[in-house]
Amino acid sequence: SQQGEEDPQALSIQEGENATMNCSYKTSINNLQWYRQNSGRGLVHLILIRSNEREKHSGRLRVTLDTSKKSSSLLITASRAADTASYFCATDRGGNQFYFGTGTSLTVIP
Amino acid sequence: GAVVSQHPSRVICKSGTSVKIECRSLDFQATTMFWYRQFPKQSLMLMATSNEGSKATYEQGVEKDKFLINHASLTLSTLTVTSAHPEDSSFYICSATLTSGSYEQYFGPGTRLTVT
């Protein structure tokens, strides 16, 4: 990818379990954002974390950022079947351009 | 919230023809728009940054003569895939920002291009 890698590439869990996805990137950033994408559709913005923040919460989402390791994680708690989608991290290096990670395909089994 | 539309949502064209994709910001003026392409089961790749009234800035490896971008107004950017070939078949997504330096990007729903 232009910026980094996400792992796992694919994740399958039971409804109610937690899902954790990781994102690593290559260069210094201003902020990092997470998006979800349902198959063949556009992107939905989930959460933004700035480079001076370490953790952020939004509903069932928890995002962490470790700039020393150039990595971020997205935790979805109490997953639902409707959470099934692909999840991407995107980094902003300060020029407004977003560089996306390779993505994690999440399947939540009812 | 800010809404970005794309037209068409799907297009099929013959090899060698050109295809134009429109990206519109419906309820705001977008100083900057971005174009991405996404192959099946892959990530989004930034193709170019488009500022209203100036030439687009292309990412390394993206042919500017192949992918013509025009950002003639604050609400419309167009991407023209010239002399399309089957390998240009992809999902093309645009996004827009309200102001320069804004963290928020609003994404369009995407255009599925199939070149036969």
| Residues of chain B neighbouring A96 (CB-CB closer than 8 A) | 32, 34, 49, 97, 100-102, 105
**Who among A48, A99, A101 is closest to B46 (CB)?**
A99
The answer to whether the CB atoms of A97 and B103 lie below 8 A apart is no
Residue of B nearest to A102 (CA): B43
Please check whether residue B107 is in contact with residue B4, taking contact to mean a CB–CB distance below 8 angstroms: yes
The answer to whether the CB atoms of B103 and A31 lie below 8 A apart is yes
Assess whether pLDDT exceeds 60 at residue A1.
no
pLDDT band at A39 (very low <50, low <70, confident <90, very high): confident
* A32-37: average pLDDT: 93
The confidence score (pLDDT) of residue A2 equals: 60
Mutation site, A98, A102, A106, interface B, largest B CB count within 10 A: A98
Per-residue confidence of chain B (116 residues) as pLDDT tens digits?
A: 678 999 999 999 999 999 999 999 998 888 889 999 998 888 899 999 998 888 899 999 999 999 999 988 889 999 999 999 999 999 999 999 876 556 678 899 999 999 99
DSSP assignment of B65-82, as one string? Answer: TTEEEEEEETTEEEEEE-
The answer to whether the CB atoms of B93 and A102 lie below 8 A apart is no
pLDDT single digits (tens) A73-108: 999 999 999 999 999 999 987 777 888 988 999 999
Domains of chain A: 5-109 (2.60.40.10)
The answer to whether the CB atoms of A42 and B108 lie below 8 A apart is yes
The answer to whether the CB atoms of B108 and A92 lie below 8 A apart is no
Question: Buried b vs exposed e over A56-94: b needs ≥16 C-beta within 10 Å?
Answer: eeeeebbbbbeeeebbbbbebeebeeebbbbbbbbbbbe
| Per-residue CA distances from B49 to A22, A95, A100, B46 (Å) | 27, 10, 15, 8
The confidence score (pLDDT) of residue A108 equals: 97
The confidence score (pLDDT) of residue B102 equals: 61
CA gap B49, B55 in Å, rounded:
9
The answer to whether the CB atoms of B49 and A92 lie below 8 A apart is no
**Who among A31, A92, A101 is closest to B43 (CB)?**
A101
